[in-house]
Amino acid sequence: MSDTQWQIFEVFHQQVRGEPHVYVGSVHAPDPEAALILAKEQYGRRQASVSLWVVPEDAITATSYEDVDMFDHGTDKSYRESFGYETTKRIKSIVADRTESRGEA
Amino acid sequence: MSTGTTFSAAGDIQGEERSALIDLLYRLGDDDLMIGHRNSEWTGLAPILEADIAFSSMAQDEIGRALSYYRMLHALGEPDPDTIAFTRAAAAYRCASLASLDRSDWAFSTVRQYFYDVATTRRLALMADSSYTPLSQFVRKVGGEQKYHMMHSRMWVVRLGKGTDESRLLMQQAVEKAYPHALGMFEATEWDAVIAGSGIGPCEADVEASWVEEVAEHLSASGLAVPTNVEPTYGGRCGRHPEELGCLLEEMQKVYKLEPSAPW
Amino acid sequence: MVRVSPTRGGQPGLRGDKPGDPGYEENLAAFESRVSRGDKVEPGDWMPDAYRQQLIRLIHVHANSEICGALPEGGWIPNAPSLKRKLALIAKVQDEVGHAQLLYRAAETLGKSREEMIEELISGKAKYSNVFHYHAETWADVATISWLIDAGAIVNQTMMAEGSYGPYARALKRICYEEAFHLTHGYDMCITLATGTKLQHDMLQDAVNRWWKPIMMFHGPGDKVSRHTDLLMRWRVKMKTNDEQRQQFLKQYMPKIYQLGLTVPDEWEMRFDEVEGVWRYREPDWDEFLHVVRGNGPASALRLRTRKMAHEDGAWVRRALQSAAGQSAVGESVAGAG
Ligand SMILES: [Fe+2]
Ligand SMILES: [Fe+2]
């Protein structure tokens, strides 16, 4: 190869402590440390920042969009969600029953 | 050796301390303006896009600092920042020759920037407790920005010093060329003793000593030889400049001078 | 599950992505229905080869335009007439270099390397925007470019940011944000010149006069001349025709130009048609446009020479860092700051 544009690093940026690092783009850089130094100006020169990560592009393993259907839910999974339960409705009816039976007594 | 007096605003500083402060601020501002100008000549032309972007930020930081120093000067009764920057004759500038030399190649520009960054870092550290409050406040504000400058320029020196035979050679040539001009940054002016004595800033010999030590260490670690028995290139601090400054000023003042009294 | 880098597309032309290939019609139908739903296309997805090639070409030209666009204005950084203008201009040109970086990357996800794209630019094989084939002759040109050319670019880029290709659309969101600063910075410069001394005002009028032709051509050949727009619209590579973009630009900016006491050259016969609500003008000479973007504009040779020199002068630096990358000792020595 006659020339080089170095390797590609993916850049993740954190705006404030406590927030997640968010993917913002890539830099061409010769090594991780240079990648951080160069990414700082391309991705941190305007946004507030507290932290940057760089990851070699080929270190990322990803699912394929062709397999997007594997994220589908084949059966009812509401049992693991709070919306799958009717506690409020149930407790209301219990309280209502009690009031009713007290009234009778 | 500081007298312990604090000057909290422009109105509080008088006499020879005021003159010394003005001398210091012109040196700081002019250095930053000229090296910023030279660095900005790389914008759009650097060896790779990522490096281009980072180097433009160096230029902006430096010109931004020049503006801040010129504002301090204006508060001390000197002309407004643009008048200071754009109207003086070459002999009235107080920048070291290191700052005004042509940008040359990437080796020279990165070596110069490294030499300048080490000097700036040392100088800022020694001015963080300046007895002139506007200066100490400013210095503390740019500390973080300067930390990044150091990482950036150390990175270039070591990467290119340890890169290929070709890059090491170019870097070594750049070191030889820039070193005497770098020592010229520490040319003491007639106000040196007053600046140190009143606690406004460091004496130049102190900045130079710590500069020499740090630079020697990093050059060696980068596989580069440290120049010895170098005769410093003095003159910038008293207005004697290389020809390059004249050309730079002609370019810089070209548009401004079309209508010197109008806003642009 | 497949191991793929999420930002790298498949090798072009390997997956039945051309008409006549087995499965092409079914894949195309699924692709088109996704796009018409407003879904984004991502690098690893199946896409018609024609879509891939169109996007590579488009993003490549766009990236080239950003890096070449840094040249006419960058050349004026040393002459900027105040410290604030100097700072803003460096920041503006820096952004343009940054845009090139983002866009080359977006194109890379389609399978073409940045190296190859830059080689094609400096060899004259790949094109860049017509406007950067002209010289920036005075400081007022810088103001005019930054205001009106960036305004034209914003019309184009906000539209393209809604396009179907994910990486391009994402890059454009960030770019549009920065362009807003360019526009304001340019407008501010133009206001200063227009309301300044006679010399300043005349300088600006002269710049607008010289730039009006390239500006009128900026959005590309008129709809009567321009081909293959239908397919690009269906695939959401493009959402508005060239003429629609030009109209949008004129509607927004002609009043602002007049408001500053400026005019555009009479020969364009610009007038607002109140009935139709559109600007009428003399159709640009599209043969001249093509001649210019093929590298025959007044500044074309200079632009390529400058880019080529910058690229070649930087070759030793790129090589050195490629080699230094293998050395583990390097890292420690940077981190230990003094
Ligand atoms: Fe741009
Ligand atoms: Fe722009």
User: The domain spanning residue A37 has which CATH number?
Assistant: 3.10.20.520
Measure in Å the smallest separation between the Cα of A19 and chain B Cα atoms.
22
Q: Is residue B231 in a domain?
A: no
Q: Is residue C23 within 8 Å of C17, Cβ to Cβ?
A: no
- So what's the pLDDT on residue B180? 98
Minimal Cα–Cα distance from C63 to chain B, Å? 11
Residues C235, C271, single domain; the answer is yes
Query: Given A42, A58, A67, which is nearest C5 (Cβ)?
Result: A58
Q: Can you say how many angstroms the Cα of residue B229 is from the centroid of all Cα atoms in its chain?
A: 23
Q: What is the pLDDT of residue A101?
A: 84
Q: Is A36 on the interface with C (CB under 8 A)?
A: no
| Total number of domains in chain A | 1
Q: What is the pTM of this model?
A: 0.95
Q: Would residue C36 count as lying in a domain?
A: yes
Q: Which residues of B touch C333 (CB under 8 A)?
A: 154, 158, 218, 221-222
Tell me the pLDDT of chain B (264 aa) as tens digits: 456 799 999 999 999 999 999 999 999 999 999 999 999 999 999 999 999 999 999 999 999 999 999 999 999 999 999 999 999 999 999 999 999 999 999 999 999 999 999 999 999 999 999 999 999 999 999 999 999 999 999 999 999 999 999 999 999 999 999 999 999 999 999 999 999 999 999 999 999 999 999 999 999 999 999 999 999 999 999 999 999 999 999 999 999 999 999 999
Query: So what's the pLDDT on residue B9?
Result: 97
Which ligand is nearest the CA of C98, by number?
1
Which of C5, C315, C322 is opposite residue A57, by nearest beta carbon? C5
Q: In what order do the strands lie in the sheet with A7-14?
A: A22-29, A7-14, A51-56
Containing H/E element for C273?
strand C271-273
Dump pLDDT digits (tens) for A30-52.
999 999 999 999 999 999 999 99
First to last CA, chain B: 46
Partner-chain contact C2 A64, CB within 8 Å: yes
Residue A54 lies in a domain: yes
Strand bridging mode A7-14 / A51-56: antiparallel
* Pairwise CA distance, residues C214 & C196, whole Å: 26
Task: Flag if A38 and B148 touch (Cβ within 8 Å).
Answer: no
Pair C248, C107 in one domain: yes
**In this predicted structure, what is the pLDDT of residue B150?**
98
Distance, in Å, from the CA atom of B177 to the CA atom of B63, rounded to the nearest integer, reads 24
Domain residues for the domain of B120 are: 10-225+237-254
Q: Residue C312, SS3?
A: helix
Q: How many CB atoms lie within 10 A of CB C11?
A: 8
Please report, to the nearest 10 degrees, the dihedral formed by the alpha carbons of residues C109, C112, C116, C122 taken in order: -80
Residue C292 lies in a domain: no
Inter-chain contact C5–A60, Cβ cutoff 8 Å? yes
Q: How many domains does chain B have?
A: 1
Where residue C254 sits, what CATH number does that domain have? 1.20.1260.10
Between chains, do B40 and C104 touch, taking CB under 8 Å as contact? Answer: no
Question: What DSSP assignment string belongs to B148-207?
Answer: HHHHHHHHHHHHHHTS-HHHHHHHHHHHHHHHHHHHGGG---TTHHHHHHTTSS--HHHH
The packing angle between helices C49-74 and C83-108, to 10°, is 160
Shared domain check, C168 and C191: yes
Select the residue from C66, C86, C305 to test the B interface by mutation, using most B Cβ atoms within 10 A.
C86
User: Over its length of 338 residues, how does chain C's per-residue pLDDT go in tens digits?
Assistant: 555 566 666 555 557 899 999 999 999 999 999 999 999 999 989 999 999 999 999 999 999 999 999 999 999 999 999 999 999 999 999 999 999 999 999 999 999 999 999 999 999 999 999 999 999 999 999 999 999 999 999 999 999 999 999 999 999 999 999 999 999 999 999 999 999 999 999 999 999 999 999 999 999 999 888 766 788 999 999 999 999 999 999 999 999 999 999 999 999 999 999 999 999 999 999 999 999 999 999 999 999 999 999 999 999 999 999 987 656 545 545 554 43
Work out the percent of chain A whose per-residue pLDDT is above 70: 95
Mean pLDDT by 10 residues, chain A (105 residues): 82 97 97 97 95 96 88 93 95 93 70
Question: Is residue A65 domain-resident?
Answer: no
B98 lies in a domain?
A: yes
Same domain, C89 and C220: yes
- Collect all residues of chain A within an 8 Å Cβ-Cβ radius of residue B151: 37
Residues from B contacting A (CB-CB < 8 Å) are 48-51, 53-54, 56-57, 148, 151-152, 155, 159
On whether both C35 and C129 belong to a single domain, the answer is: no
Q: Please, are residues B227 and B173 in contact by the beta-carbon 8 Å criterion?
A: no
Residue A2 lies in a domain: no
Residue B5 lies in a domain: no
Neighbours of ion ligand 2 (CB under 5 A): C 150, 179, 182
CA torsion through residues C294, C296, C298, C299, sign:
positive
Note whether residue C20 is domain-resident: yes
A68 is a domain residue: no
On whether both C57 and C98 belong to a single domain, the answer is: yes
Question: C173 with C316, same domain?
Answer: yes
**Dihedral angle, C-alpha B49, B51, B56, B62, nearest 10 °:** 180
Find tokens 């020694």 and name the residue. Answer: B126
Instruction: Say how far apart CA B104 and CA B102 lie, in whole Å.
Output: 5
Q: Which residues of B touch C80 (CB under 8 A)?
A: 255
* C324 lies within 8 A of chain B by CB: yes
Same domain, C35 and C53: no
Residues of A whose CB is below 8 A from C122:
none
Enumerate residues 170 to 209 of chain C having a beta carbon within 8 A of any beta carbon in chain B: 189, 192-193, 196-197, 199-200
Q: What is the 3-state secondary structure (H, E, C) of chain A?
A: CCCCCCEEEEEEEECCCCCCCEEEEEEEECCHHHHHHHHHHHHHCCCCCCEEEEEEHHHCCECCHHHHHHHCCCCCCHHHCHHHCCHHHHHHHHHHHHHHHHHHC
Q: B184 — alpha (psi -120 to 50), left (phi > 0) or beta? A: alpha
- Touching C (3+ Cβ pairs <8 A), the chains are A, B
Q: C182 C-alpha to center of ligand 2: Å?
A: 5
Query: What distance in Å separates the CA atoms of residue C8 and residue C4, rounded to the nearest whole number?
Result: 8
Q: How close is the Cα of C175 to the center of ligand 2, in Å? A: 8
Interface A–C counts its CB contacts (< 8 A) at 79
Ligand 1 centre and the CA of C66: distance in Å? 5
Model pLDDT, residue C224 = 87
Chains meeting B at 3+ CB pairs closer than 8 A?
A: A, C
| Ligand 2 mean position, distance from CA A63 (Å) | 36
Would you list the DSSP string of C5-58? -TT-PPPTT-SS-STTSTTHHHHHHHHHHHHHTTPPB-TTS---HHHHHHHHHH
C149 with C160, same domain? Answer: yes
Domain that holds residue C168: 48-285+299-322
Domain that holds residue A90: 7-60+77-101
Q: C171 and C278 share a domain? A: yes
In sequence order, what are the beta bridge partners of B229? none
Overall domain count for chain C: 2
A85's tokens: 């339960």
Same domain, C263 and C149: yes
Whether A20 is in a domain gets the answer: yes
Distance CA B167, CA C320 (A): 6
Burial (Cβ within 10 Å: 0-12, 13-18, ≥19) of residue B125: middle
**Which residues from B are below 8 Å from A34, CB to CB?**
155, 159
CA of C54 to the centre of ligand 1 (A): 20
**What's the CA angle centered on C247, arms C242 and C252, to 5 degrees?**
130
The CATH number of residue B128's host domain is: 1.20.1260.10
Q: Are C237 and C260 in contact (CB under 8 A)?
A: no
Is residue B172 a part of any domain in this protein? Answer: yes
Structure-block tokens of residue A32: 């991780």
Do C98 and C239 belong together in one domain?
yes
